[in-house]
Amino acid sequence: MIELEPRLGGPVSGDGIPPVDYLSWYVPRLQENRPYDLSQSGFEYDWNLNLEENKLLGFWESGANPAEWVASRYGVKVDQVCVTHGVCQAISLAILAALPKDGPRAVGVEMPSFAVVSQCARLLGCEVIPFHRGPNAGEWRLNRDEVAEILPRVGVIALTPVMNPTGEMIAIEDEDWLIEATREAGVNIVSDEVYLDAAMGTEFYRPMHLRAENVISVNSLTKCYGLGPLRFGWAIGPKNLIHNVRNAFHNLQGMTSAPSMAIAEAAFPHLDVALDALRTQREVNLPKLIDVLTENGIEWTPPPIGIFGLIPLGTDAVQAMAEHGAPLGLLATPGGMFHKDLANHLRIAWGGDSDAFEAAMPVLSRFLTSIQEGTD
């Protein structure tokens, strides 16, 4: 079994900086342009924007304030927003901003998770201490005992409410408990909500910055809106913490990219149209996936929102992709990239073009059949 999960531990620098094994594995395979790509956790949307060419480089001369667009959409004040160069930067800045000045320089990171969440904390000079969310009797529930044990030792708790790679939403009972436990412990929360907007308009839409004063929520236009190349992200939270985020941003980045801001300005009035398309894509594509899994004897319940989920394979997914997926031109993401206990699972996304997704379903079926024949 090949282990490519996030690398936890203490502060790193120089030649001790670890690679992001997930990206080291994924990017070369993505560049192969395999015809049946079920790997991408972000929504694919065909944006057709009217742009003023002279504004691409001259955006900052227009007087527009991108933080105002974010504040208006999410119902907060402008001084509660800091726009960043993508969500990965927002995560790093939020952790820096949320760490106590004289408290523990350690971050509790939810597992399973995307490696950048934990490994960026190590680059910031922090120890990373894991805690887990599920599965518990089939449910992805927070291990409260683990959290309670580490709270006195950490300055920040970092989590992803819509978990990557499972797509499962944190239970509201666990969220309530976590908010109260961190408040009592004097610990801040960094909530990576990059997938949460898929739940807008449903009971599952619970931005954590609206629920507690010790939370920084981070988000972007990448996953739910199909605008990843812009690298347009943001942090939302209480004024004092966002003041810290903004100071860190100005020290490390200075300003955001003018062309990205100009394109985002054109996109923001139409974001709800993209979300409607995301929901339609789920309604069209997901039943086709369920049919293929059922035909291959795989019992699976999809997460209630979003465009990806975690499928049990019964064998190592990295090896299966190499031996059975690559020859078929199929690409999906091994679960072991997020935690070693998920090595026998595969993250499959259904946010792509409907015709391409339908064409991939017979290939996925052959992939699953070849695995079963090889392990019988």
Kind and range of the H or E element at 109?
A: strand 106-111
Strands (E), 242-352: 308-312, 330-331, 333-334, 345-349
Please check whether residue 38 is in contact with residue 348, taking contact to mean a CB–CB distance below 8 angstroms: yes
| Length of the chain as a residue count | 376
Please check whether residue 220 is in contact with residue 64, taking contact to mean a CB–CB distance below 8 angstroms: no
| Domain range list for the chain | 14-44+272-375, 53-269
User: Can you tell me the distance from the alpha carbon of 128 to that of 130, in angstroms, rounded to the nearest whole number?
Assistant: 6
Q: Note the pLDDT of residue 362.
A: 98
Amino acid letter at 141? R
Q: Note the pLDDT of residue 56.
A: 86
**CA nearest to 52, candidates 331, 241, 261:** 261
Written as six digits, the tokens of 375 are 């392990």
**CA nearest to 310, candidates 112, 33, 45:** 112
**CA nearest to 117, candidates 177, 164, 84, 174:** 164
Q: What is the pTM of this model?
A: 0.95
**CA nearest to 91, candidates 194, 226, 211, 196:** 194
Written as six digits, the tokens of 100 are 């106590």
Residues 6+ apart with CB under 8 A from 196: 161, 162, 205, 206, 207, 219, 224
Q: Note the pLDDT of residue 147.
A: 97
Handedness of CA 294, 296, 299, 300 (dihedral sign): negative
Q: Note the pLDDT of residue 139.
A: 82
Kind and range of the H or E element at 22?
A: helix 21-30
CATH 3.90.1150.10 corresponds to the domain 14-44+272-375: yes
Please check whether residue 226 is in contact with residue 274, taking contact to mean a CB–CB distance below 8 angstroms: yes
CA angle 161, 162, 164 (to 5 degrees): 115
Report strand pairing: 188-192 vs 156-159.
Answer: parallel
User: Can you tell me the distance from the alpha carbon of 254 to that of 19, in angstroms, rounded to the nearest whole number?
Assistant: 26
- The residues pairing with 323 across neighbouring beta strands, listed in sequence order, are none
Q: Note the pLDDT of residue 305.
A: 95
The CATH number of 53-269, from 3.40.640.10, 3.40.50.300, 3.40.367.20, 3.40.220.10, is: 3.40.640.10
pLDDT tens track, the chain, 376 positions: 566 899 999 999 999 999 999 999 999 999 999 999 999 999 999 998 878 766 788 898 888 999 999 999 999 999 999 999 999 999 999 999 999 998 899 999 999 999 999 999 999 999 999 999 987 666 899 999 999 999 999 999 999 999 999 999 999 999 999 999 999 999 999 999 999 999 999 999 999 999 999 999 999 999 999 999 999 999 999 999 999 999 999 999 989 999 999 999 999 999 999 999 999 999 999 999 999 999 999 999 999 999 999 999 999 999 999 999 999 999 999 999 999 999 999 999 999 999 999 999 999 999 999 998 875 4
Q: Note the pLDDT of residue 376.
A: 42
DSSP 37-58: E----S----------HHHHHH
Residue 69, Cβ neighbours under 10 Å: how many?
22
Please check whether residue 246 is in contact with residue 219, taking contact to mean a CB–CB distance below 8 angstroms: no
